């Protein structure tokens, strides 16, 4: 299975809300640089934030779910 960068977050809370929403719907995903950006927030921009990686076959579905969640 290959993963694709879906979104980059500047804070831990937003990243976990999105991760939980997608996992609840059965979409394989994970966060990258979560610990580094949280422990050393001054490096977050240099790292590119906390990255949400999603199964590349379900990217469109993930985008739609997160857009729906943002609208609620």
Tens digit of each residue's pLDDT (9 = 90 or more) over 24-40: 999 999 999 987 877 77
Domains in the chain, number: 1
DSSP state letters, 56-70: GGGHHHHHHHHHHHH
Q: What is the mean pLDDT of residues 58-66?
A: 96
Predicted local distance difference test score (pLDDT) of residue 39 = 78
Q: What is the pLDDT of residue 35?
A: 77
Element (H, E) at 71: helix 59-71
Angle at 4 between CA 45 and CA 25, to 5 degrees: 105
Report the alpha-carbon distance of residue 5 to residue 17 in Å, rounded. 16
For the entire predicted model, the pTM comes to: 0.87
First to last CA, the chain: 31
Q: Please give the pLDDT value at position 1.
A: 87
pLDDT at 15 over 70: yes
Q: Which domain holds residue 35?
A: 3-71
Q: Are residues 29 and 23 in contact, defined by beta-carbon separation less than 8 angstroms?
A: yes
Q: What is the pLDDT of residue 59?
A: 97
């Amino acid at each position: 299975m290959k993963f694709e960068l879906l979104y980059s977050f500047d804070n831990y809370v937003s990243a976990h809300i999105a991760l939980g929403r997608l996992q609840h719907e059965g979409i394989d995903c994970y966060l990258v640089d979560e610990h580094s950006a949280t422990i050393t927030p001054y490096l977050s921009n240099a790292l590119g934030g906390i990255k949400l990686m999603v199964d590349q076959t379900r990217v469109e579905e993930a985008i739609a779910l997160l857009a729906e969640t943002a609208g609620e």
